[in-house]
Amino acid sequence: MTDLRSDARAFVIQQRDAELLRGDGSELWLLADASDCCGALGCNRLRLQPGAAGARPHLHRRSSEAFYVLEGTLEMLIDGEAVRLEQGGLAVIPAGVVHSFRAGDGEVADVFVTLAPGTDRFDYFRALPKILRGEVGADELARMHERYDVHFV
């Protein structure tokens, strides 16, 4: 017998309606945060210009993360192993596994990223410019990394 949740609701968004964050060689569409999806998952679309960095080595303790390449090439380091994902390629990173990623040289990396179970992380992405400029103190940064389940190594 299926357990139907009376509070469950579908979530639908068009990319044109999603918040778009632009960075140094990147565009990030905030598609669905955990609170949009009853905590089940979070989804983003990330487009990196050729050679642009995505994220330095980090892990998530509470969630797995999946990367699906829509276009171009995504270069990843997964538990110390270099992996090259081409269009149509998928990498699923279990919780606790160290990973990093960037666009391949000479190619964009257009990637659909899913995190499950979800963690509300949109505010972290919004704060990244300040974090990268060093404008967030060490104590606050440690609290943010714990709250958003982003742990750099």
- Which residues have CB under 8 Å from 92's CB, separation 6+? 64, 65, 66
- Tens-digit pLDDT profile for residues 37-47: 888 999 999 99
Does residue 3 surpass a pLDDT of 90? Answer: no
What pLDDT does 65 receive? 97
User: Does residue 4 register a pLDDT over 60?
Assistant: no
- Report whether 71 contacts 86 (CB < 8 A): no
Note whether 126 and 33 are within 8 A (CB): no
Name the pTM for this structure.
Answer: 0.92
pLDDT value for 132: 84
